[in-house]
Chain A
Amino acid sequence: MKDMDRRTFTSALGSLALTQLLSGGQTHFAPKAKRVIYLFQSGAPSQMDLFDHKPVLRKLAGQDLPDSIRQGQRLTGMTATQEKFPLAPTIFDFQQHGQSGAWVSDLLPHTARVADQLCFVKTLHTQAINHDPAITFFQTGFQLAGRPSMGSWLSYGLGSENENLPAFVALTSGTGGQPLYDRLWGSGFLPTKYQGVRFRSSGDPVLYLSDPKGLPKDLRRRMLDDVAQLNEVRYGQFQDPEIQTRIAQYEMAFRMQTSVPELTDLSKEPACTFDLYGEDARKPGTYAHNCLLARRLTERGVRFVQLFERGWDHHTELPPKIRERAKSTDQASAALITDLKERGLLDETLVIWGGEFGRTAYCQGKLTDTDYGRDHHPRCFTIWMAGGGIRPGISYGQTDDFSYNIAKDPVQIHDLHATMLHCLGIDHKRLTYKFQGRHYRLTDVHGKVVEPLLI
């Protein structure tokens, strides 16, 4: 009798007692992906020049964007006072590719070849209309500074798989165009240890990593031993466990002095690697180099690797500029998919490609037969995802004939975040951190998993 009562009670209460934090890397449910590589295309690539095929625009070239399409929606201050909004069809050709028949423009021949591995989401949309709030929203789920970035949420929720490397690494490439900010990989109100570590392409890959010139390695070792010894003496007197933690951190720092250079040293990569990623991959600071580093980081268990390629902000002279951007990113993006697949890592690695918003169907500035520019467009844009629990070879969502409004299946950024977390085995409503009296989430009070994208 007594046992039964207890059981009744236990089950009544057991279901109430949910854990909100993931302890020891335990996920809420079985994950499909263990890691994420996010190929962020900063500046906002034009969806209708790359993926969102809109043949109707060809016929309407030069005509004003109909009011029935614009629907009085707000525009940025850069074009709001334009006298006309002439429609600018892409000058690039589109073909269907693979068994899935995905539309990809001729700008991205390599991506086109792996189209069957990719899941295109055509209907992402955002609230922000300018770069800083938009990219901050993308990274943190909120337009203003102060919240943790998605990588630091994962670092907090899942921890690291490799104790000699950070759980979250950011890599930047490209010059010019929109600037980037440390907050994009920052930890917001989460403890600083969850922030992304930016690996730099010049100088030390990790700040202060290398020993000063002239210091022999054995002396550094001896010096670190002294630090440990003297810290132990202090520990004996004060019994403060922080001292033990510090000793351990110094050891990890020392191991990073080996593990990081080993990671960034590509000299042992075979020639075929560079056939795959392109010769650019030999040059530090290029997107291709970063794609290769992303694979190496992923292999070593780094939880979240995020690339930021700058230079997609094409207000004017879009055709030559996007051609250049496509050229420096296409091969390596596709190579990464191929490479992960060949190594058997794609199934457990979620790869996401995309920018912070889309671009307008109408021309910013003067429209000619060969030249046009496009302003910011938050109402719809395309990203692609691959691997790690995502259904390959599909296109999700539809935009209207102008790639201006969403016709079917909108996906907001909170939904993307929820879906990404879901692939990693995390219920986005339960990954929380209490701050200022509130249980904060990456998805704030929004977000739902986009089930059709999942395997």
Chain B
Amino acid sequence: MHRLIQTILAYVALHWVMAAHGKTVDYGRDIHPILSDTCFACHGPDAEKRKADLRLDTKAGVLSLVKPGNPWDSELFHRITTQDEDDRMPPSKSASQLTDKQVKVLGQWIAEGAEWKGHWAFQKVVRPEVPCGEKHPVDAFIGKRLEAEGLGFSEPADRRILARRLWLDLTGLPPDPAGLQEFLQDPDIAQTAAKLLDSDAYAEHMTARWLDMARYADTSGYQSDGWRTMWPWRDWVIAAYRQNMPFDQFTIEQLAGDLLPNPTLRQRIATGFNRNHRGNSEGGIIPEEFAMEYVADRVETTFAVWQGVTMGCARCHSHKYDPLTQKEYYQLYSFFNRLPEYGRALKEGNSMPWIKAPTKEDSRKLAYLQKAERKAISNFRKLTKDLPIPRVAIPDGWKIQDGLVPNDSPKTRFGYFDSFTLSAKVNYEEGQTGTILSRMVPVEQGTGYYLELTNGGNVQFNLVKRWLDDSIRIITSRPVPSGSNITATYDGTRKASSIRVYVDGKEVPIRVILDYLNQSFDSEEPLRIGAGQSDFPGKVSDVAVYNRVLEPEEVLALSGDSQERNRQYFLRVSGPEKVRQAFAESVATRRERAIFYNQIPSVMVMEDSVDRPAYILGRGQYDNQFERVYPGFPASLTTQDYKPQNRLDLAKWLVSSENPLTARVTINRIWRDIFGIGLVKTAEDFGVQGERPSHPELLDWLAAEFMDSGWNLHHMLQLIVTSRTYQQSSKTTPELLQLDPENRLLARAPRFRLPAGIIRDQALAVSDLLNRKVGGPSVKPYQPDGLWGELASDANYQLAQGPDLYRRSLYTFWKRTVPPPMMMNFDSAGRETCEVTTRRTNTPLQALNLLNDVTFLETARVLAEKVVAKPGFQTDRAFELILQRKPGTQEATRIQESLAMYRKSFDEAAAKAFIQQGQSPANPKLPPVEVAAWTLVCSTLLNLDEAVTKE
């Protein structure tokens, strides 16, 4: 019976198989995806999970089960068609099963000879020949395929639509009226493109895309999600695009700028790319656990961005589908784990390692201030060099006044960003202990700052948020004799190394007990003398508190050294005016320089300064170390025997012509951003589970061209936009829609919704509200009140004032746990992890956003005022301002009718309320009802599908 069924099956199936697929089966296109999706989980690269010691991801493995030309004698085909439950593959309990079409295709492949090929994307790029036909290489490839499908290009797009398309694609902004006129009169698209590419707007536009993949944000992303400053890195990216930095250099500097010979400041800033990942500062975490996550993030992000490979799948076990082993994952890991970082990030500000990142302007100003300081100091020295300091009578109890804070003043409420000095004289008997001076919650281990005399007479200085894991605590190495003056200083840098303790004016050695301060320790308690954690039975006198770090000589004076005290009094009070002035000047210039230096932003960077071994981690867990590994590249992506040492070698390999992926992956994303879908639809996955390219030869040709052009992005973009493919109309027909719903063949230009940032930037641009300032700290434009506060208690959104409200969206402050709502409504990447995939949805929340968000209402009002201010052709002008075209008759009539109704329905008061939108005041000279009516019309136009779509 069994045999009979088999024979019947074979008979029927043969016919059925041959009829399955008109075209010849291609292994890469048709077979590999099936095997990968259905079989590799148990018969793939992962040796640990491999069943029956059978591999279907290698040529030998597959062909051992196949008799070319004869499906019926092939074990593979038998296994997928048999009725025998025990033999049939995949097992019935497996989640992925074969469809009957897939079975047929497998059969046909075997019948046709079972030709096997390696995965296309892992083969070196070879420039294909451009097909005959269309002149432009892009059109030649696209046209050839269209012809094969019996299709052709669409007519050229309307010039105005083309202008808008071109501007949006190259700058992320719509054309300005002058630019549009120029383009309409002189429609040389190559020249226009060149002009657009050579602009700040282009650089910002490209940067916005890069930030999504680089998971750039202005906060650290876990739990309390405090701020950080990575924008100097973002500005580096803008500058790089602005100068059309070749993509290979762009790569090398971001991945390994610090390892270049004599790296410049800019090259070091560039490495911020791999510090953009989130950082966890939550109390109680195990730092090693998260240190590991940061390194893993670097590996996975780097490979997602440059290689389009899902390296993360190989973290816990060898990749299920792609030929990437777990060992290779940790070899890559070892490129990225040599920086002196700590797994528990700082809650506020940048975590180690970071560098100061002055802008050119900052550097100039700093040099100027340093010069002024040097001058003032040398002037002071000159004046006082041989000047005898007379003994003068100093009033009793005189102290240096500069920065002195009264003991009972609220100004003694210092926090962890404040500099301060505490000083007191202590007398005690042996064995007596207690708090000398404190501002703290007066319980054991309470929050606050406190100087303590401990057992054995050592002095301990505590800056405490939480005693065990969130404090800086240091102690003197030797006992402090009774009767000493004790002074301690803290400079607001949150590091124990910045603390100084002086006994009788002499700095003494200290031992660090804990050096991890992550939250401010300021408390509402009063300053207490001789009390705090515990009462001090001895005597505390001569208490002095300063809101700055005293210099050593000042401390010496404070502790009663009569000579220094005399000198300080002379310089500050009793000396000749000239001397006092020169001294004051030297202090002031030093302070000015220090204040300026402190506010220069820093940026987190990569560096290889720690010799930290890397291991294979079992199940990807931080505390589960196996074999030690060393840097190396995945074998399936290399043809040569490399011996890489560090990230620089890695970066150079990524942009070498040997690397099969970087150029393909990068140019595919460029294509995706312009055409809506990449030639490889799964832009994030070029592995065997990813989709095959729609036009493999075009992709390879573009990749080759990209490399041969010297990785020149301007060249590639210009090439693409000058094609007929790009310039055709995006109008479609029911037939085309049915034939090619996703428009992969490009018989028409794409038509798709704009990304979130562009929708907002466009509204700002057409209303002229846009502030075109480039770079600098991130800004906080409009968002509904209270969004941050509702989710996190310690965060309030400080709305920007004035021009900062109208910056381009790439400058919007990105808080990862509560990202800007408008950006999220329109499918932005969340910036928590690297996101290569772009999404586009069409939702009612987007409608509400465009209708009622003050950003768009204020824009509409400002547009309306432009229209109302100048009589004549008002409807035409509204359309031209917003959509860069004139209205059709039907549209104009409809708008006229509505205007009439609006004018009638708005009363003066309602109109006034309605047009008061945003911080910019309504123009009082214009009639409110008229402005209100036009505001509604402009809002209508901003809400049109056309307005939010690139056509």
Physical interaction between A and B: yes
Binding site for B on A (CB under 8 A): 5-6, 8-9, 12-13, 15-18, 20, 74, 76-82, 129-133, 144-146, 172, 175-183, 186, 189, 191-193, 195, 197, 200-204, 206-216, 218-219, 222-223, 226-227, 229-231, 233-234, 237-243, 245-247, 249-250, 252-253, 256-257, 366, 375-376, 429-430, 432, 434-439
Give complex CA distance A260, B405 in Å: 56
Give complex CA distance A434, B681 in Å: 13
Starting from the known contacts A253-B851, A435-B837, 12 additional A-B residue pairs (CB-CB under 8 Å) come to A9-B13, A76-B284, A129-B286, A130-B280, A132-B223, A207-B784, A215-B914, A226-B895, A230-B944, A249-B843, A253-B847, A434-B689
- Contact residues on B (Cβ < 8 Å of other chain), bracket: 35 or more
* A78-B817 in contact (CB<8A): no
Question: Which one of B191-199, B389-397, B903-911 is at the A interface?
Answer: B903-911
Tell which of B282, B320, B732, B901 touches A219, judged by Cβ atoms closer than 8 Å.
B901
Is B8 close to A, CB under 8 A?
Answer: yes
B window 896-951: CB within 8 A of A? 898, 901-902, 905-906, 909-915, 917, 932, 936, 939-941, 943-946, 949, 951
Chain B residues near A218 (CB-CB < 8 A): 905
Chain A residues near B480 (CB-CB < 8 A): none
Give complex CA distance A435, B837 in Å: 9
Chain A residues near B842 (CB-CB < 8 A): 193, 242, 245-246, 249
Tell which of A200, A212, A439 touches B790, judged by Cβ atoms closer than 8 Å.
A200
Chain A's closest residue to B312 (CB) is A436
Give complex CA distance A202, B785 in Å: 9
In the complex, 28 of the A-B residue pairs with CB atoms within 8 angstroms, ordered by the A residue number, are: A9-B9, A15-B92, A16-B103, A17-B100, A81-B468, A129-B285, A129-B286, A179-B817, A181-B816, A189-B837, A192-B841, A208-B853, A212-B852, A213-B914, A214-B912, A216-B910, A219-B902, A226-B894, A234-B946, A237-B731, A246-B842, A249-B843, A252-B844, A253-B851, A257-B848, A434-B689, A436-B313, A438-B321
Chain A residues near B827 (CB-CB < 8 A): 191-192
> Distance (Å) between the CB of B446 and the closest chain A CB?
11
Tell which of B96, B284, B685, B890 touches A78, judged by Cβ atoms closer than 8 Å.
B284
* A183-B832 in contact (CB<8A): yes
Tell which of A129, A145, A429 touches B830, judged by Cβ atoms closer than 8 Å.
A145
B window 772-811: CB within 8 A of A? 784-786, 790-793, 795
Give complex CA distance A256, B905 in Å: 24
> Distance (Å) between the CB of A70 and the closest chain B CB?
16
Tell which of B684, B852, B888 touches A211, judged by Cβ atoms closer than 8 Å.
B852
Contact A197 to B817, CB < 8 A, known contacts A145-B830, A177-B793, A230-B894: no
Tell which of B284, B752, B852, B932 touches A210, judged by Cβ atoms closer than 8 Å.
B852
* A146-B280 in contact (CB<8A): no
* A438-B830 in contact (CB<8A): no
Give complex CA distance A250, B948 in Å: 14
* A223-B936 in contact (CB<8A): yes
Is B274 close to A, CB under 8 A?
Answer: no
Chain A's closest residue to B688 (CB) is A437
Chain A residues near B901 (CB-CB < 8 A): 219, 222
* B468-A77 in contact (CB<8A): yes
* A209-B103 in contact (CB<8A): no
Chain B residues near A12 (CB-CB < 8 A): 9, 81, 83
Which of B222, B821, B891, B912: most chain A CB closer than 10 A? B222
> Distance (Å) between the CB of A253 and the closest chain B CB?
4
Contact A179 to B793, CB < 8 A, known contacts A16-B98, A132-B280, A214-B912: yes
* A238-B732 in contact (CB<8A): yes
Give complex CA distance A239, B732 in Å: 6
Give complex CA distance A435, B690 in Å: 9
* B848-A213 in contact (CB<8A): no
Is B12 close to A, CB under 8 A?
Answer: yes
Chain A residues near B280 (CB-CB < 8 A): 130, 132-133
Is B225 close to A, CB under 8 A?
Answer: yes
Chain A residues near B312 (CB-CB < 8 A): 436
Tell which of A8, A76, A183 touches B9, judged by Cβ atoms closer than 8 Å.
A8
> Distance (Å) between the CB of B889 and the closest chain A CB?
10
Is B99 close to A, CB under 8 A?
Answer: yes
> Distance (Å) between the CB of B2 and the closest chain A CB?
12
Tell which of B795, B853, B945 touches A234, judged by Cβ atoms closer than 8 Å.
B945
A-B pairs with CB below 8 Å: how many? Answer: 296
Tell which of A208, A226, A437 touches B852, judged by Cβ atoms closer than 8 Å.
A208
* B225-A179 in contact (CB<8A): yes
* B310-A16 in contact (CB<8A): no
Contact A16 to B99, CB < 8 A, known contacts A226-B898, A230-B894, A249-B846: yes
The contact string, 1 if C-beta is below 8 Å from chain A, for chain B 810-848, is 000000111101001101001011000101011111111
Q: Which 4 A-B pairs have the closest CB atoms?
A: A437-B689, A76-B284, A214-B914, A214-B913
Give complex CA distance A246, B466 in Å: 53
* B96-A231 in contact (CB<8A): no
Chain B residues near A80 (CB-CB < 8 A): 468
* B284-A233 in contact (CB<8A): no
Chain A's closest residue to B734 (CB) is A239
Is B178 close to A, CB under 8 A?
Answer: no
* A175-B793 in contact (CB<8A): yes
Give complex CA distance A186, B793 in Å: 20
Chain B's closest residue to A4 (CB) is B8
Chain B residues near A131 (CB-CB < 8 A): 223, 282
Contact A214 to B911, CB < 8 A, known contacts A192-B827, A207-B849, A252-B844: yes
Which of B468, B911, B932: most chain A CB closer than 10 A? B468
Contact A180 to B791, CB < 8 A, known contacts A145-B221, A242-B945, A437-B682: yes
Chain B residues near A438 (CB-CB < 8 A): 310, 313, 320-321, 689
Contact A78 to B468, CB < 8 A, known contacts A183-B832, A249-B847, A437-B689: yes
* B914-A212 in contact (CB<8A): yes
* B92-A132 in contact (CB<8A): no
Is B458 close to A, CB under 8 A?
Answer: no
The contact string, 1 if C-beta is below 8 Å from chain A, for chain B 319-335, is 01110000000000000
Is B610 close to A, CB under 8 A?
Answer: no
Chain A residues near B689 (CB-CB < 8 A): 434, 436-438
Chain B residues near A206 (CB-CB < 8 A): 845, 848
Is B283 close to A, CB under 8 A?
Answer: yes
* B847-A5 in contact (CB<8A): no
Chain B residues near A435 (CB-CB < 8 A): 837
Give complex CA distance A131, B913 in Å: 45
Contact A186 to B731, CB < 8 A, known contacts A17-B99, A212-B857, A242-B753: no
Contact A5 to B784, CB < 8 A, known contacts A78-B284, A145-B221: no
Contact A227 to B844, CB < 8 A, known contacts A16-B103, A179-B793: no
> Distance (Å) between the CB of A16 and the closest chain B CB?
4
Contact A191 to B833, CB < 8 A, known contacts A207-B784, A222-B901, A242-B752: no
Tell which of B687, B837, B898 touches A223, judged by Cβ atoms closer than 8 Å.
B898
Give complex CA distance A209, B821 in Å: 13
Tell which of B97, B313, B817 touches A183, judged by Cβ atoms closer than 8 Å.
B817
> Distance (Å) between the CB of A63 and the closest chain B CB?
21
* A227-B469 in contact (CB<8A): no
Tell which of A178, A182, A242 touches B751, judged by Cβ atoms closer than 8 Å.
A242
Contact A182 to B819, CB < 8 A, known contacts A78-B466, A227-B943: yes
Contact A256 to B843, CB < 8 A, known contacts A16-B100, A172-B790, A213-B913: no
Chain B residues near A6 (CB-CB < 8 A): 12
> Distance (Å) between the CB of B781 and the closest chain A CB?
15
Give complex CA distance A218, B819 in Å: 34
Which of A16, A78, A249: most chain B CB closer than 10 A? A16
* B284-A203 in contact (CB<8A): no
Which of B284, B890, B936: most chain A CB closer than 10 A? B284
Contact A219 to B839, CB < 8 A, known contacts A207-B821, A239-B734: no
Is B646 close to A, CB under 8 A?
Answer: no
> Distance (Å) between the CB of A302 and the closest chain B CB?
15
Give complex CA distance A374, B933 in Å: 61
Chain A's closest residue to B946 (CB) is A234
